[in-house]
A and B are shown apart, each in its own frame.
Chain A
């Protein structure tokens, strides 16, 4: 403990020293910094190119960089003199200006770029490192415009459908809203909406989430290997940035399909200075399914969203956001059990470049609440709720070409659960967890190499020992250009909360949040990634990435053969390895990709009674989300006013435990059984854990849409179908009741969407 604290102190002191040195060193030279945004929406243009040419230098020496998170750039160490500044981004009109910088001056030049109508008409705007093959150290930048390329039966694209088209992302079916990413479970994924956590954002109907195409600006999807800024989850991060409303004109859209109705509106509050955007969505599948699916699917979800944004000096901005989601349904339409969950999120975020400083402040404060329940419709057997209050302060600054990111955080969790029916062991009805800490990371360019070492320190009051987790990202561009790149990531990750799912079936979505329930230690993972990205020319891009994860202290159910037996929890360690390979084609009028993912997930758990079952107390098994092979593909084409999209995916069968038979068990614990008067306890006789595999899953979706210009707006008509060839895909197999539940059959749909000009 003392040794660990000493290490923490030394590392923290080192980081502070580096920051102080950078302050001294930057005192004599000039600095230019600012934010690059979209003029209408204020969207941060990460990746925008900033070029400064020294006009006093006969050779015209160039300084430049690409804007980072929040569209922030900073070029420091500049000699005093005259410079030509050019800021550009694909799809926007470049900004050009001439500047004269004084010694020691720190100039702020924030630019709001105008979209270039001529470029937008001719190319698909794809900033660098986006697209299906734009994978760097597990990170993928998702632009909202790409969501619409994946056929989705709601009239607009959705993050949920798009993510499920990515190799390495396993969905157990088209219901439940659970995504397993590279061997991690849904409770190990961190989903952020404008910096505030949302616990269960994926809707019960798996095509949809709280993130439709029209509300999202972009998202950073880290399938692993994420940096020190993100802490508290061990599998993945989906950092979603929501759009800001248009600050110049009011507009809106409305759409309806058999699955979903949606209204979105936005506009200025104060011209150029502040804006709002709001939406209301509600599923319709419960009402329409008897007509177009042949039977009623009792699945319902809805969401409401509202965001205000105020723009200040230098395009600094503050926003406040509220989001609510509600999901309710029966995953097995023939059973009475209903699952429900609600999310409520309040968030505020300020991205500020204070006058006289040369650092960017990104401050986020938020509250996120989720409640869960499952059981009979009016009598839930299991209930759980979690609330998280957060304050995160993130700062970005430069020292020469080195980028420093550091910050502090305070996270308070309040957790409640009543799992009397589920967990027989010790349980906590209510608990509170205070976590606080700091992180720092720096990006160091060295020739064709780029290293980003970092670390996060976290202190959890009265719960766990403090932890200091190092992380490292690295990339190498052997030819000195972006067309080919080798990238790698290595890091330690911890998670103070565990999400306990209801049963051992993949079909169960009830999740109770509690502190690590078995080992008294945080969930822990080590990630190692190595990937290659290659531009092949003619619109083709290829990426391949291999990964390995080691996980510890995972809560898993204690295995029993009793049907609805109260279940205790045990601790498991996990090991995941695999790889993704993706080939993307992006040249108008076509966009397409095909990806293959291989993943091998294995858990090992020790449970005392295994000795009598298997001869050893330890057992290795493949958990129910271990999809070994996965092929994802899609193709979209734009022909004038028509857009066609097709998506096909295939996944090898998920593990399940094969039963040998059923009987009724009698206990002799404290009396002999009276067989004439007692039925006994139903029991499934099992041979071994997860030895069976469900059927291979594959599905073809299709959509065709056409736009019509009409007075005051545009009408978009879409027709399509989910599961075009009506494959009977399994959702899950309930070993305790010997029931197979299938996913949606062939589901044709049409949608209408109206957008104001």
Chain B
């Protein structure tokens, strides 16, 4: 009798528990409600460029964006005048079937002025980022010395004046492969080679043999030649963060380093100079002078290969 009672008790408990739980099926909702971040805005506005490109993407529930119309109207506003320009969307495809929207507008921006990028959804939710462009600065000079003082290796010295904050300094090497006949442009970053003199001017010292060595390692054994070289220098406006001193984990936080309101991302304001990577001299004088600036992208037909 006791045996049956014990067994029935356990059976009853099991049955009751089962009925309770099977009657309460839940649905899984992984998402935390997002009423904070509508758009992700990244990129920069450059007073030296005739076309402005920025990445604007919805903060979305899928890891990858499905190609299709984007619910965003993006405008570029000159805050001092109130003039607003609508930016055009352009869907870009990247490796592994990934897609992203870049917005562009052909307009001239003025150094020292304030601009705002606004992205707005059809339901009126919007994100925006505002930047102040830095003042213009004199074209830098390049002095390619065959030897450093004291008989060392060759040393190229780029002298820059009138820049408070650097966002970018890179050399761009245009490469031609003899066998395939193809050309590429390969940039190398040199912001770490910057020195600020007591006088306030900035100098960048580059050992060109190091760049050549890196190119050789990067390009491998096929015969190639450099047919042009440029230097790109970008000055950033007030409020631009000094990123090398900021922990990457903080940069990755939604609001760690961001100037996007109701969104995530970072927008920089720049004035840039693109100059030939060569020394220019006035006639008969052995003192380098600024060369004429060139378009940043020397030729859109030459694809970019590698970013360091």
Q: What is the bound-complex CA distance between A395 and B253, given in angstroms?
A: 57
CB of B234 within 8 A of CB of A672, answer: yes
Query: Taking A658-B32, A668-B266, A670-B192 as contacts, is the C-beta distance between A675 and B42 under 8 angstroms?
Result: yes
A660 within 8 A of B: yes
Interface residue tally on A, bucketed by range = 35 or more
Stretch from A79-87, A409-417, A510-518, A561-569 that touches the partner: A561-569
Which A residues are in CB contact (< 8 Å) with B179?
none
Which A residues are in CB contact (< 8 Å) with B307?
671, 674, 677-678
CB of B54 within 8 A of CB of A659, answer: no
Which B residues are in CB contact (< 8 Å) with A663?
40, 57, 59-60, 264-265
Q: Mark B246-260, 1 if CB is under 8 A from A, else 0.
A: 011111111110000
Interface residues of B in 203-259 (CB under 8 A from A): 234, 241, 243-244, 247-256
CB of A677 within 8 A of CB of B6, answer: no
CB of A633 within 8 A of CB of B270, answer: no
Which A residues are in CB contact (< 8 Å) with B10?
585, 590, 592-594, 633, 635
Query: Taking A540-B6, A679-B100 as contacts, is the C-beta distance between A672 and B270 under 8 angstroms?
Result: yes
B285 within 8 A of A: no
Which B residues are in CB contact (< 8 Å) with A670?
168, 189, 191-192, 243-244
CB of A694 within 8 A of CB of B28, answer: yes
In whole Å, how far is B248's beta carbon from the nearest beta carbon of chain A? 7
A664 within 8 A of B: yes
User: Within the complex, which residue of A662, A664, A700, A735 is in contact with B55, where a contact is CB–CB below 8 Å?
Assistant: A664
Q: Mark A643-669, 1 if CB is under 8 A from B, else 0.
A: 000101010000010111111111111
CB of A680 within 8 A of CB of B42, answer: yes
A539 within 8 A of B: yes
Which A residues are in CB contact (< 8 Å) with B43?
666, 672-673, 675
Stretch from B66-74, B90-98, B112-120, B153-161 that touches the partner: B90-98
In whole Å, how far is A712's beta carbon from the nearest beta carbon of chain B? 35
CB of B3 within 8 A of CB of A740, answer: no
CB of B14 within 8 A of CB of A539, answer: no
Q: Mark A610-651, 1 if CB is under 8 A from B, else 0.
A: 001100000000000000000101010100000000101010
Q: What is the bound-complex CA distance between A674 and B54, given in angstroms?
A: 9
A683 within 8 A of B: yes
CB of A587 within 8 A of CB of B3, answer: yes
Report the nearest A residue to B167, measured CB to CB.
A672
Stretch from B17-25, B80-88, B137-145, B276-284 that touches the partner: B17-25
Q: What is the bound-complex CA distance between A607 and B249, given in angstroms?
A: 10
Q: Mark A124-137, 1 if CB is under 8 A from B, else 0.
A: 00000000000000
A738 within 8 A of B: yes
In whole Å, how far is A584's beta carbon from the nearest beta carbon of chain B? 10
User: Within the complex, which residue of A631, A668, A694 is in contact with B167, where a contact is CB–CB below 8 Å?
Assistant: A668
Report the nearest A residue to B33, measured CB to CB.
A660
CB of B7 within 8 A of CB of A590, answer: yes
Stretch from A3-11, A303-311, A684-692 that touches the partner: A684-692
CB of B191 within 8 A of CB of A659, answer: no
CB of A585 within 8 A of CB of B252, answer: no
Query: Taking A590-B10, A648-B17 as contacts, is the C-beta distance between A658 and B31 under 8 angstroms?
Result: yes
Q: Mark A214-229, 1 if CB is under 8 A from B, else 0.
A: 0000000000000000
Which A residues are in CB contact (< 8 Å) with B6?
538-540, 585, 587, 590, 592
Query: Taking A695-B26, A696-B21, A740-B30 as contacts, is the C-beta distance between A675 and B53 under 8 angstroms?
Result: yes
Which B residues are in CB contact (< 8 Å) with A585?
6-7, 9-10
Which B residues are in CB contact (< 8 Å) with A558?
249
Q: What is the bound-complex CA distance between A698 and B26, given in angstroms?
A: 12
In whole Å, how far is B214's beta carbon from the nearest beta carbon of chain A? 15
A162 within 8 A of B: no
A589 within 8 A of B: yes
CB of A730 within 8 A of CB of B63, answer: no
CB of B63 within 8 A of CB of A668, answer: no
Q: Mark B27-46, 1 if CB is under 8 A from A, else 0.
A: 01011111011001011100
Q: Mark B270-308, 1 if CB is under 8 A from A, else 0.
A: 100000000000000000000000000000000010010
Q: Mark A540-562, 1 if CB is under 8 A from B, else 0.
A: 10000000000000000011111
In whole Å, how far is B297's beta carbon from the nearest beta carbon of chain A? 10
Which B residues are in CB contact (< 8 Å) with A662?
59-63
Which A residues are in CB contact (< 8 Å) with B30?
656, 658-659, 692, 733, 735, 738, 740
Q: What is the bound-complex CA distance between A633 and B11, given in angstroms?
A: 10
CB of B28 within 8 A of CB of A612, answer: no
Q: What is the bound-complex CA distance between A668 and B102, given in angstroms?
A: 18
Q: Mark B102-132, 1 if CB is under 8 A from A, else 0.
A: 1000000000000000000000000000000
Interface residue tally on B, bucketed by range = 35 or more
In whole Å, how far is B46's beta carbon from the nearest beta carbon of chain A? 8
Q: What is the bound-complex CA distance between A677 and B172, given in angstroms?
A: 15
Report the nearest B residue to A737, measured CB to CB.
B63
CB of A637 within 8 A of CB of B7, answer: yes
In whole Å, how far is B234's beta carbon from the nearest beta carbon of chain A? 6
User: Within the complex, which residue of B32, B92, B247 is in contact with A660, where a contact is CB–CB below 8 Å?
Assistant: B32
Which A residues are in CB contact (< 8 Å) with B57?
663-664
Report the nearest B residue to A681, measured CB to CB.
B252
B268 within 8 A of A: yes
Which A residues are in CB contact (< 8 Å) with B241?
668
B198 within 8 A of A: no
CB of A589 within 8 A of CB of B100, answer: no
Which B residues are in CB contact (< 8 Å) with A633?
10, 13-14, 17
Q: What is the bound-complex CA distance between A111 and B243, given in angstroms?
A: 77
CB of A698 within 8 A of CB of B31, answer: no
Report the nearest A residue to B90, measured CB to CB.
A676
CB of B60 within 8 A of CB of A661, answer: yes
Q: What is the bound-complex CA distance between A540 and B14, given in angstroms?
A: 16
In whole Å, how far is A559's beta carbon from the nearest beta carbon of chain B? 8
Q: What is the bound-complex CA distance between A406 and B304, given in angstroms?
A: 71
Q: What is the bound-complex CA distance between A538 and B3, given in angstroms?
A: 8
Which B residues are in CB contact (< 8 Å) with A562?
252
User: Within the complex, which residue of A635, A661, A673, A680 is in contact with B61, where a contact is CB–CB below 8 Å?
Assistant: A661
Q: What is the bound-complex CA distance between A683 and B60, given in angstroms?
A: 11
CB of B168 within 8 A of CB of A672, answer: yes
B170 within 8 A of A: yes
Which A residues are in CB contact (< 8 Å) with B14?
594, 633, 635, 646, 648
A252 within 8 A of B: no
CB of A664 within 8 A of CB of B40, answer: yes
A725 within 8 A of B: yes
Report the nearest B residue to A653, measured CB to CB.
B26
Which B residues are in CB contact (< 8 Å) with A470?
none
Interface residues of A in 573-596 (CB under 8 A from B): 585, 587-590, 592-594
Report the nearest B residue to A700, measured CB to CB.
B18
Report the nearest A residue to B254, measured CB to CB.
A685
CB of A590 within 8 A of CB of B55, answer: no
In whole Å, how far is B242's beta carbon from the nearest beta carbon of chain A? 10
Q: What is the bound-complex CA distance between A678 and B250, given in angstroms?
A: 21
A748 within 8 A of B: no
Report the nearest B residue to A668, measured CB to CB.
B243
CB of A676 within 8 A of CB of B42, answer: no
CB of B55 within 8 A of CB of A635, answer: no
Which B residues are in CB contact (< 8 Å) with A686?
254
CB of A695 within 8 A of CB of B28, answer: yes
CB of A725 within 8 A of CB of B22, answer: yes
In whole Å, how far is B239's beta carbon from the nearest beta carbon of chain A? 12
Report the nearest A residue to B253, measured CB to CB.
A613
CB of B28 within 8 A of CB of A650, answer: no
CB of B59 within 8 A of CB of A672, answer: no
Q: What is the bound-complex CA distance between A685 and B34, given in angstroms?
A: 10
Most buried by B among A561, A608, A662: A662
A sample of 11 cross-chain residue pairs with beta-carbon separation below 8 angstroms, ordered by A number, consists of A539-B2, A587-B3, A589-B3, A612-B255, A646-B14, A660-B254, A664-B55, A668-B268, A673-B44, A685-B254, A698-B18
Task: Knowing that A560-B249, A650-B21 touch, tell me 15 more A-B residue pairs with CB under 8 angstroms.
Answer: A538-B2, A560-B252, A563-B63, A607-B249, A648-B17, A661-B37, A670-B189, A671-B168, A671-B189, A672-B234, A675-B54, A679-B98, A695-B28, A733-B30, A736-B63
Nearest 4 A-B pairs (CB), nearest first? A663-B40, A661-B59, A658-B32, A592-B10
